[in-house]
Amino acid sequence: MTSLSLEQLAKANPAVSFVHSYPGVVKTGLLRDFGALAQALVNVLFFLARPWTVPLEESGERQLYAATGVPRNRAVGEGSGRPYLVSWDGEPRGNQNVLGLYREKKIGEVVWKHTRDVFRQVCG
């Protein structure tokens, strides 16, 4: 839904680039307020996932690059503004075949209408 929504936003704002990024496994301080047991378990998981973990600084650099530059290989929604769907390493992400089918059926418009309707309900 996020990728399709970003494509709709990009169509409405063609001068703006939108990035939907999957940063990968990044060890942040997100769980610092959890209890000692939860922190210990997460630390064990991060230790085991170390080969697949992206350092915090590198993730920040990659996100900044995606926000200020043109991501590599331009995973762009056809006919739309500039939405980018990228993985942790800046490469295109997602199943482009499925997204292509959704574009053909104009599912993005349905998703965007649903999103706006939910915001109207929540915000009054």
Predicted TM-score (pTM) of the model is 0.66
- Non-local CB neighbours of 15 within 8 Å, separated by 6+ positions: 81
Q: For residues 62 and 23, give the distance between their C-alpha atoms in angstroms, rounded to a whole number.
A: 8
Residue 74 has a pLDDT of: 52
Number of compact structural domains in the chain:
1
pLDDT at 107 over 90: yes
Strand partners, 92: 86
Distance CA 95, CA 105 (A): 16
Domain span holding position 81: 2-123
Average pLDDT over residues 30-47: 86
Total length of the chain = 124
Q: Provide the pLDDT for residue 76.
A: 45
